[in-house]
Structure 1
Amino acid sequence: MAQPRNFSFASAIAGALALCLLLIIAAAAVVYGGLFPVAASSEDGAAVRSLLIEAREHSVERSAAGLTAPSFTAEDVRLGGSHFKGMCQACHGGPGAEPEEFAAGMNPRPPNLAKAAGDLTVAQVFWIAKNGIRMTGMPDFGKTDEDEELWKVAAFVKQLQKVTAADYAALPNAHEHEEADEEAGHHHDHH
């Protein structure tokens, strides 16, 4: 009768190290061999997409955990809507307003914020607007806009589900007004 092989801790370690080395070699072949598809026209597989969404959600939740939203007046929310038109509508659309044509070519495609922001807190929306989301096309507006403005945009985003197309259409585009002032030689600080 054959004797059972004794478990060897050293052989288990050697096997684990060999597996790690094999995974490193495979990852290097994919990365340095140009095998990972980076074209925006390439769709991620379900597992990769799910992993990226989970990573994003947990990162935003953790990063925004220490933020406390200020109080907002109806005027603050309206001003946030005016800035939303200039900052966000091109990619995300708005009530009764479609995103610009180029947004269809973004991968991942920018979400409809009236739906996507439903589970987010105002602080999480603010954090995303301020810091952006890497590898999604969502810019870091914290480099160009003041926190006060971004909080108002976040407050508006949280109200998007209640905004009618007519009310949205009536909002001025704050950024068009600022650009017109700058072109006319009137420099003013909008923050």
Structure 2
Amino acid sequence: MGVSETALNIFLLSKLEQFHKAYPQVKIKLSNHSSIQAVDALEKGIVDIAIVTSPITIKKPLRAPSLYCFEEVLIGGKEYESLSNQILDIQQISYYPFITLGKNTSTYTYYSNLFLNHQIPFHTDLEVATADQILPLVKHNLGIGFYPKELISKDSDIFEIHTNIKNPERDILLVQDASRATNIATQKFIDTLSL
């Protein structure tokens, strides 16, 4: 399966554990991809399913039901601690160094559209390849960035920065190709996802 890192860390790990306990003889191959790359691998028949984060463009015969909804919050390191006592608007956010995933990701598209919908140019100061790189960069005061709330530990060096915009809600999606038959092991795994 093609899996985005955020989907793996927020949702999929516990499901993999469940599945492995129920079917220890089944071999699993995970391919770490951006959401866009995972869907591309599915379209090319390289993977059986993709588990990714929204937003993502899906064309028939693909389908992508939501498995889980998660919230992202704006965070900063110790140098940005004073911002945690304020409520920033999106214009104010744009004045600070911003850390996000790279241009060819659904996350970048999501935040680019969020800023553009408020007529604010979207600029990034640090673009990273994977979501797990955001947290240490924020912790070392290289900028602020949105990060899944569930993945933020109770770290005294990380502060939530409140905004007057609704915290972004995104989905973890199961992407399947409806034109291809699903093998038994994959179907059992899909069944585990809904438990």
TM over 0.5: no
When you count helix as a share of all residues, which structure comes out higher?
Answer: 1
Higher relative contact order (CA 8 A, sep 6+): 2
* TM-score where L is the length of structure 2: 0.28
Higher-Rg structure is 1
When you count strand as a share of all residues, which structure comes out higher?
Answer: 2
* TM-score where L is the length of structure 1: 0.29
